Amino acid sequence: MSSAEPDSVAANVAQWTATNAEFTDGAAERSWNDPEVKWGVFGIPEFGALRDVNGLDVVELGCGTAFCSARLARLGARVVGVDPTPAQLATARRMQALTGIEFPLVEAPAEAVPLPDASFDLAFSDYGAPLWADPQKWIAEAARLLRPGGRLVFLTTSTLAHLCTPDLDEEPITNELVRPLFGQYRTKWPEYPGIEYHISHGEWIRILRDNGFVVDALHELRPGDDAKTHDYYFTIPVEWAHRWPGEDVWEAHLR
């Protein structure tokens, strides 16, 4: 269990500090200047999971450079971005200054967020906390931060994609299961310092319910026919994602 393991926050901040330094090609500018709300590495257009954000208090858990938050702020949400990596938040602040889209940014891991109880209507994340934070801890924090009836919406790598992904970068995702489902929790890829979290659908449901959430939907995303393979370090080829879900979006609300 995670509590017996070393803290993953420091390792993940180290990984994301390095990753931030690699993105020198205007990626933040492109993302911030694009107002369309999209999901995941294929930029799948928003399909209703983040509906009606105008006037809502919204927290993004693991906001990174905060372009997703910026898109919701454009739609009238009162957004707060939370991320533990100073370099990522520095990029977010630079983009806020460039675009004039300003909202609070809080340096903290999603496992321990220094914001008041019951202060948000929507907590969301696109590859932030759901992949990089301990699910038992960050789901409890999301429940604490939300008002009764508040919604939690998040995207992460699908369980199926994780089970089909070999350890090394040079080995592409396969059409076969290469790791067990039982016992999955923390994943340390040999070539990266960070720790990812991957759990089964049953475990997500159990943790969500244990923390007072009602599960409303699990969207198994399929990119559009025109989608292109994204040049990320954990690439899922679009041909694979057309056959199996590469990304899962969970929707839940607090009782």
Ligand X SMILES: C[S@@+](CC[C@H](N)C(=O)[O-])C[C@H]1O[C@@H](n2cnc3c(N)ncnc32)[C@H](O)[C@@H]1O
Interface with ligand X (CB under 6 A):
9, 12, 16, 61-65, 68, 83-85, 88, 109-111, 126-129, 132-133
State the nearest-atom distance from the C-beta of 114 to ligand X, in Å.
13
Burial environment of residue 26 by CB neighbours within 10 A (0 to 12, 13 to 18, 19 or more)? exposed
Q: Give the nearer residue to ligand X in terms of CB position, either 107 or 181.
A: 107
Residue least distant from ligand X (Cβ): 64
Bridging pattern class, strands 44-45 and 38-39? antiparallel
Q: Give the nearer residue to ligand X in terms of CB position, either 88 or 211.
A: 88
Question: Measured between alpha carbons, how far is 96 from 242 in angstroms, rounded to an integer?
Answer: 35
State the nearest-atom distance from the C-beta of 174 to ligand X, in Å.
23
Q: Give the nearer residue to ligand X in terms of CB position, either 123 or 208.
A: 123
Q: Give the nearer residue to ligand X in terms of CB position, either 137 or 181.
A: 137
Question: Measured between alpha carbons, how far is 58 from 115 in angstroms, rounded to an integer?
Answer: 12
State the nearest-atom distance from the C-beta of 76 to ligand X, in Å.
20
State the nearest-atom distance from the C-beta of 95 to ligand X, in Å.
12
| Cβ-based neighbours of 94, under 8 Å, separated by 6 or more | 28
State the nearest-atom distance from the C-beta of 228 to ligand X, in Å.
17
Which of these, 158, 190, 161, lies nearest to 176 by C-alpha position?
161
State the nearest-atom distance from the C-beta of 35 to ligand X, in Å.
15
Q: Give the residue ranges of DSSP H helices in 40-82.
A: 67-74
Question: Measured between alpha carbons, how far is 142 from 124 in angstroms, rounded to an integer?
Answer: 9
SS3 169: coil
Which of these, 61, 218, 62, 71, lies nearest to 143 by C-alpha position?
61
SS3 217: strand
Q: Give the nearer residue to ligand X in terms of CB position, either 84 or 246.
A: 84
Q: Give the nearer residue to ligand X in terms of CB position, either 225 or 231.
A: 231
DSSP letter for 42, please. T
